[in-house]
Structure 1
């Protein structure tokens, strides 16, 4: 059975724009998927990238043009400068890890819901109430936000080390079990083609 490791952060607009498509591609090909929340700022620092605020103005300007363009292509609402960005993505990452360990709900919906909260609903995904609401909406026990925080933090750190060691440098990033890497929500079609044997 094919497998996809999906490295992400809910505070990336491009992870938001990925929506539930990674899970849909996985289901199409009978593949499993593991969600691996990562500290994006730490990842950039380890792999030659720089945080958004430190990027050259031309890069920042292009990002502001590209995000709404991609959102329009996908028919998704987006706020280019959300009220609660930047914010701490770690608590949401811990909740995704806890939900994945617990099972019983829809992980794709949870990841999409947390990302949508930031990028379309003007909510702070570092807030406990927002995280619990997203957990509940995706069919998970909201109390997962309060449990397993130490394990979540440990896995969050492990995900970062693993990502660096596997050549991940941006998010979203997908790696198949045969080692094929795909960076960006605009490469999900390529991931689909690879799993289908066309790439």
Structure 2
């Protein structure tokens, strides 16, 4: 089955901005999204990237400018500098992976976690906060959080991170379709076009 390999960090404000459009593209074309949360600090360490706090003031300032532009264009609110900005995302990542393995809807879950960080000033490294987010979506929080602690979930998390680097990923969000990498939510229209072209060729 044709799919979109979706590599993203559970602290990615840009992933939050692109979440609904990515879901819409997949639904439009009738294809699957393979959700793969990654350890982005590890990806950066292996691909030459830098975490935001280590970037130059000019780059940090431009990020805020771009966020404001995109928020206005999309009609989505994001606080560029939330109270708990980019805490450890390992637990949140494992919860999303566990939810996917259980067949639960992934987009509402990862969106809710990102919304908590970027719109509600909540600490997504706090297990109590994650439990509350999961419960608010109507899921069995005890069951899902316990499942997220399974060794195989950690193994998948590390495998996704390795797979990201192998696929050429160096930032979040990144989308891979038919071996072609699209980096950033601002490339979603190009991803959409690539899928359309692929399906047109296949139907000839």
| TM-score, normalised via structure 1 length | 0.93
The aligned counterpart of 1:65 is 65
Please say which of residues 63-72 and 91-100 is displaced more in the overlay.
63-72
Residue 151 of structure 1: CA displacement?
2.2
The aligned counterpart of 1:75 is 75
Please say which of residues 90-99 and 4-13 is displaced more in the overlay.
4-13
Distance 1:66 1:137 in 2: 31
Distance 1:56 1:128 in 2: 32
Please say which of residues 77-86 and 87-96 is displaced more in the overlay.
77-86
Residue 48 of structure 1: CA displacement?
1.2
Partners of 2:167 and 2:181 within 8 A in 1: no
In structure 1, the residue corresponding to 2:70 is in which secondary structure?
A: helix
Please say which of residues 17-26 and 126-135 is displaced more in the overlay.
126-135
The aligned counterpart of 1:15 is 15
Residue 161 of structure 1: CA displacement?
0.8
1:138-167 CA distances to partner (integer Å, 9 max, x unpaired)?
A: 453212112241222211111111111110
The aligned counterpart of 1:154 is 155
In structure 2, the residue corresponding to 1:116 is in which secondary structure?
A: helix
* 1:74-153 pair list within 5 angstroms: 74-103=74-103, 105-143=104-142, 144-149=144-149, 150-153=151-154
The aligned counterpart of 1:37 is 37
Q: Which portions of structure 1, spanning 4 or more consecutive aligned residues, are displaced by more than 6 angstroms?
A: none
Please say which of residues 148-157 and 51-60 is displaced more in the overlay.
148-157
The aligned counterpart of 1:170 is 171
Please say which of residues 151-160 and 32-41 is displaced more in the overlay.
151-160
Relative to total residues, which structure has the larger helix share, 1 or 2? Answer: 2
Distance 1:127 1:2, change over 3 A: same
Partners of 1:107 and 1:138 within 8 A in 2: no
Residue 197 of structure 1: CA displacement?
1.1
The aligned counterpart of 1:6 is 6
1:14-65 CA distances to partner (integer Å, 9 max, x unpaired)?
A: 1111122212211110101111011111111111111111112211111121
Gaps of 5+ in 2: none
CA RMSD between the two structures: 1.6
1:83-122 CA distances to partner (integer Å, 9 max, x unpaired)?
A: 111301110000000000011x321111111111111111
In structure 1, the residue corresponding to 2:147 is in which secondary structure?
A: coil
Give the count of matched residue pairs. Answer: 197
Partners of 1:71 and 1:78 within 8 A in 2: yes
Distance 1:169 1:54, change over 3 A: same
Partners of 1:16 and 1:116 within 8 A in 2: yes
Gaps of 5+ in 1: none
